[in-house]
Structure 1
Amino acid sequence: MVRLRRLCWASVHIRTRAPARRGLTIQAHGKDIPPQELFRYNHGRFLVNEDYEQAKRYSTFDIDALCQMVAALATVRSPIVKIDKREGGYNKALMMTAENGREVIAKIPCGNIVPREYGTASEVAVLQFVKARSRSPVSTVLAWSADPSNPVRSEYVVLEKSPGQQLTHVWDTVSESDRVQLIRGFAQLESSLATIQFPGYGALFLRHALPPSLKEDPNRTIAVDDDYCLGPLYHGSWPGGFAADPEEYSQHSGPWRSLAQQGILQVRNYKTSYAGRGPHYGAPEEHIHMLERATEVIPILAESRTLRCHSQGILCHPDFHPGNIFVSNEDPTVIEGVIDWQFTSIMPRFTQVRWPLFLNPPEGYQTGMANPELRPTYDREAKPHDQEQAQRQEQAMRTKCYEAALVKSHLESYLTLTGTDVSIRQLFVGCPCTYRDGIVPLRDSLIRIQQQWNRLGLPGRCPYQFTDEEIARHEVQLREYQDWLKLGEYTHQMLQSNDGGWVPPHVDFDKAQAKHERLFQHFVESKKAKMSAEDARKLWFFRNRG
């Protein structure tokens, strides 16, 4: 057996230009590709730092060993004849079809982005937990490994294919009554997760399959029950980001560490984000000073009656949108699958419960059981039949539908969503992210909490005090920061891009690149009267590494 295995390894290294198995078809976007293209990222381009972004997403694995492992699964038992690459930002998602027609999904994490061992182990734990203990329909895990020294030579998760079709394919065509029924279904799924209580905060892991470092030090985990425990969080806010050594930053990532301390560690010890920096980003010393103020006030807030009611640790899907929801082919109101649970964490309810992105309240929306009418001061110039105004009103109706459904399915989540002060929520969420977002949002939360101290029912006096002069200067900077955010959103829409400069594959990249250059030059020129060209470049929404 050992000799056979060695021969198999040798054959893998020799056959680098041929399919991993005779007759195996490998495709991406409907076109045949050579095996090496499975390792590369080819789902879109990047306006800046393209070589770096491509390298982050380059992941090798043993194609032959993967096919053999999947073919041997009890639910497959047939040779693999086709691989269809469906790539994501953090994983290679491979649709694998067997000779007998059986289809499964193999996820290969991008090892330069997803923290080694921690990411796979926690994702599998979440999938198994959600499937066993909630009503959310998730795919069964057929096989997995968080040890990159396995025969596949990469971490992997093999999943049953989710039945049905993506909601994005039918959302614009279904009737409004069907949308209402779906929205009620969303609220019920989210609520079924929110009722599950946890003894702390962190990422979920299987107790019998912990990463080695957690297995060696049981003090770094919190038991949930006999099968599960909480361990370090693993997301983009970990000190050092995805590029750092997982063991190094997991030491600072819970499940018990302060979020403000994570922010301080990030600023003191690691490089900052390469996303665009807004105006008044702040020097490292200012970041640390504000984060230290946060460490003073967070314990007081945590003991307040308001937060104690909403601080229970809960599990929540991290990216609930139509692309991650599968509905029945026969009845689009029936939700048959929810995918992409990577980076799920257990955190306080008041930071977890939020509006689904595609049901976000439009500007002027008012919560409560009143009719979903936008405030009359919003866009009062709009004509009665203005299409954009009608779309906003339609969005308000759907948001109100979700709000009403949440009241019925889980009142605690509704009260958390509508009753937690925005400044308090932003303080807790933003502390680990000043390196990315700049200091203005965190400073704004701290100022609002100081100003509303008595209204929030907090004891004594706020432990820090901003002067009137500091507040006035902040208000000016906040307006400039908000204007920059709006311009950034408009720029992303024009380029059909995101914060990282990613352009989807259906967009003509050469045209997007040319448009980007024109917008960039216009932006620098528009700032010439107030700052140098070098400072203006630092404010642009896409930053080159260097």
Structure 2
Amino acid sequence: MRIQNVLGSLRARFLRFHGVGIQPTRGLVESIHRSMKYSDDELFRYTSGRWIYNEQLRLSERRLEFDVSALKDIIAVASGRAPSDIVTFSKLSEGGFNRVFQTTFKDGRCTIARLPYPSTAPEHYTVASEVATLDYLRLHGIRTPEVYAWCSTKENPVGSEYIIMERLGGIPLGDVWYSMTPREQHKMMKQLVEWETRLMSLEFPAYGSIYYRNDLPSEKSIPLPGQTEVKFCIGPIVHYSWWHGERSTLNIDRGPWLSSTDIFRAVGERELSWTKVYAKSRLPYERLYREIYDFCKVSPDTHIENLFDYLKLVPFLGFSAGSAQHRPVMRHPDFQPNNILVSESNEITGLIDWQHCSILPLGLVAGIPKPFQNYGDAESEALREPQLDLPPNFDSLPPSEQALIRETLQKRLTHFLYAALTKRLNEDHYDAIFNNAAILHQRLFQSAGTPWEGDSITLRADMIRAIQNWRDLLSVDSVQCAKGTSPLPPIQYSDTVIRDTLEFDSRQRDADIAMDQMRHALGVDVLGWVPNSEYEAAKELAQKIKTKMLEAAETVHDATAVRDHFPFDDFDENA
């Protein structure tokens, strides 16, 4: 029996075993860890959760040693206090890229210090861009923390980059969202869409990320016009995908860009440069993909060919100047409930965590934020207003089924509210969300820009779908339509290549669904993270899953595959 079939046959059993009442916010952030006192070593290491596989690697990525006394001194001076005024200094929260500390002074004032992990890239640009972005947004009436002091290099007494900033009032929306009534959620979602609409209405002359002009003295930049904006500019895009791993050493085009077509070109050239120099034959990173390739290593040569084909498509990608989808817009880089602060009266008090913020064409960034999506559900995809009445026999159902029903209704309501309110308050965004050309552009951009880790199928499959929907791709907002031309696709694939590629792509998508369902049953995110309190139970359940898969294996080959490639065991990520 093949691994995928085993997973499929056991999926419902695992869900019943674990229960499906998992908070939908899990996996959105690693932690909102409440302020506590720690020893210096605990300040340096990650303590807000566990990983059920490759934990030592994840911990090493997040270990940050720094001079605690020097940081306290800087916090005190930046806050207009003396170091002797500090009452408490404690770890407040930990996420995927930063550790946050809170300092409390004698007068009750609290200040936040945010330090990126050593693995957070790119150095200098990440901190410099976030500080400028926070300042720019505050000047335009969007409530963000005020920055008191910052340093974008490790060359300082602290020994780490840092941002010292105001602690905004309010609590994370994620703490209260699922206890709100539908009426309260409607009110809150209306506020969220209004805030997003204000953010997306800001006007920018180019694509990239925001900086202070003084922080990019020798780099290409485009000034932001206006009396109050002379100190700001748009410079290289700060999103980590452009700097990940060896990409930070490559001489590549990271913007700023005036043309949306240039963004599509730059992302393909970036990945082609990296793949040609650094990619080696390997097993697919996604372990359920490995069975598809008979557990053999995959050569990067096919992906290199795909990237060359993609670059042939680039002149036909992009949006026409002046169109709504071409307009440079900013969206929050991680728009999810734990980065949205609200008051006791359910009013938004501010948005936090603007790291890696970018400005891109509306046609590329349009979409329902992932925490509010419910794709895969027919009712949600049809944008039908959900019926919130519970079934008549609800009280007689097992707790796990009750939880599943409540979660389904909750997801449908959230998806519908976001879409309906966006249609009313931000029509350009709504139109782009459901525009076929924009969807095709987004898929090509994402698959071309995904680091190669053994998957040579997804990009080719997306190019095939783009060719099959060529007229949709060249919509009224496309750059080619603006030229008054309707050319034929510059690349073609044989029937055999199309059939084989789409078949492999379908099998990989099935594997993705199986993995998502296994993660949901275990309560872990894509890296295997789980809250401390649930670590032992998740590890135990993972081993029970593995045992059942071994019992279901029909051949020695199947058993070996489960033993050596089980997706929740430690593994070599670069093998």
TM-score tier by shorter-chain length is 0.7 to 0.9
1:59 corresponds in structure 2 to 64
Which one of the candidate residues 530, 541, 563 is aligned to 1:515?
541
Which one of the candidate residues 445, 451, 462 is aligned to 1:428?
445
Report if the CA contact (8 A) 1:275-1:500 is conserved: no
Q: Which has the higher contact order (CA 8 A, sep 6+)?
A: 2
The residue type paired with residue 272 of structure 2 is I
- Residue 460 of structure 2 corresponds to residue 447 of structure 1: no
Which is worse superposed, 266-275 or 76-85?
266-275
Number of aligned positions between the proteins: 496
* CA apart distance, 1:522: 5.0
Counterpart mapping for 1:321-400 below 5 A: 321-329=336-344, 331-332=345-346, 334-362=347-375, 363-365=377-379, 371-372=384-385, 388=404, 391-400=407-416
* CA apart distance, 1:76: 4.4
1:480 is paired with a residue whose SS is helix
1:260 corresponds in structure 2 to 268
2:8 corresponds in structure 1 to none
1:172 is paired with a residue whose SS is helix
Counterpart mapping for 1:213-232 below 5 A: 215-216=217-218, 218=219, 220-225=220-225, 226-232=230-236
Looking at structure 2, the residues matched to 366 and 348 of structure 1 have their Cα atoms a distance apart, in angstroms, of 26
Report if the CA contact (8 A) 2:285-2:453 is conserved: yes
Looking at structure 2, the residues matched to 539 and 202 of structure 1 have their Cα atoms a distance apart, in angstroms, of 40
Report if the CA contact (8 A) 2:319-2:326 is conserved: no
1:131 corresponds in structure 2 to 138
Q: Could you say if the C-alpha distance between residues 352 and 303 of structure 1 is closer, same or farther in structure 2, counting changes exceeding 3 Å?
A: closer
Report if the CA contact (8 A) 1:277-1:438 is conserved: no
- Residue 176 of structure 2 corresponds to residue 176 of structure 1: no
1:378 corresponds in structure 2 to none
1:276 corresponds in structure 2 to 286
Report if the CA contact (8 A) 2:193-2:425 is conserved: yes
Looking at structure 2, the residues matched to 137 and 52 of structure 1 have their Cα atoms a distance apart, in angstroms, of 36
Deviation per CA, 1:299-348: give whole Å up to 9, x if none. Answer: 2122569x95402221110111111111112x01x100111111111112
Q: Could you say if the C-alpha distance between residues 447 and 389 of structure 1 is closer, same or farther in structure 2, counting changes exceeding 3 Å?
A: farther
Q: Could you say if the C-alpha distance between residues 186 and 224 of structure 1 is closer, same or farther in structure 2, counting changes exceeding 3 Å?
A: same
* CA apart distance, 1:504: 2.1
Which one of the candidate residues 118, 128, 131 is aligned to 2:125?
118
Q: Could you say if the C-alpha distance between residues 400 and 53 of structure 1 is closer, same or farther in structure 2, counting changes exceeding 3 Å?
A: closer
Q: Could you say if the C-alpha distance between residues 485 and 269 of structure 1 is closer, same or farther in structure 2, counting changes exceeding 3 Å?
A: same
Report if the CA contact (8 A) 2:324-2:362 is conserved: no
1:454 is paired with a residue whose SS is helix
2:205 corresponds in structure 1 to 199
The residue type paired with residue 255 of structure 2 is G
What's the C-alpha RMSD, in Å, of the aligned pairs?
A: 3.1
* CA apart distance, 1:352: 1.4
Looking at structure 2, the residues matched to 207 and 489 of structure 1 have their Cα atoms a distance apart, in angstroms, of 43
Which one of the candidate residues 308, 313, 334 is aligned to 1:319?
334
Looking at structure 1, the residues matched to 146 and 205 of structure 2 have their Cα atoms a distance apart, in angstroms, of 26
Counterpart mapping for 1:408-487 below 5 A: 408-421=424-437, 422-436=439-453, 438-457=455-474, 459-487=486-514
Counterpart mapping for 1:67-146 below 5 A: 67-76=72-81, 79-85=85-91, 86-133=93-140, 135-146=141-152
> Normalization by structure 1: what TM-score?
0.82
Structure 2: unaligned runs, 5 residues or longer: 1-32, 258-262, 388-393, 476-485
1:148 is paired with a residue whose SS is coil
Deviation per CA, 1:342-398: give whole Å up to 9, x if none. Answer: 111111212212212232134214668x74369xxxxxxx9xx98545653553333
Looking at structure 2, the residues matched to 415 and 533 of structure 1 have their Cα atoms a distance apart, in angstroms, of 50
1:21 corresponds in structure 2 to none
2:312 corresponds in structure 1 to 296
1:14 corresponds in structure 2 to none
* CA apart distance, 1:448: 1.2
1:72 is paired with a residue whose SS is helix
Report if the CA contact (8 A) 1:496-1:503 is conserved: yes
* CA apart distance, 1:476: 1.9
2:19 corresponds in structure 1 to none
Which one of the candidate residues 36, 39, 45 is aligned to 1:40?
45
Deviation per CA, 1:196-243: give whole Å up to 9, x if none. Answer: 232222222111223xxxx23x3x33333422222223334225x2x4
Structure 1: unaligned runs, 5 residues or longer: 1-27, 375-381
Deviation per CA, 1:489-513: give whole Å up to 9, x if none. Answer: 122123222222222222133x433
Report if the CA contact (8 A) 1:238-1:250 is conserved: no
Report if the CA contact (8 A) 1:232-1:250 is conserved: no
Looking at structure 2, the residues matched to 367 and 474 of structure 1 have their Cα atoms a distance apart, in angstroms, of 26
Looking at structure 2, the residues matched to 34 and 366 of structure 1 have their Cα atoms a distance apart, in angstroms, of 48
Q: Could you say if the C-alpha distance between residues 437 and 82 of structure 1 is closer, same or farther in structure 2, counting changes exceeding 3 Å?
A: farther
Report if the CA contact (8 A) 2:115-2:161 is conserved: yes
Looking at structure 2, the residues matched to 152 and 427 of structure 1 have their Cα atoms a distance apart, in angstroms, of 42
Report if the CA contact (8 A) 1:87-1:94 is conserved: no
* CA apart distance, 1:30: 6.1
Looking at structure 1, the residues matched to 470 and 186 of structure 2 have their Cα atoms a distance apart, in angstroms, of 39
Report if the CA contact (8 A) 1:234-1:250 is conserved: no
The residue type paired with residue 439 of structure 1 is S
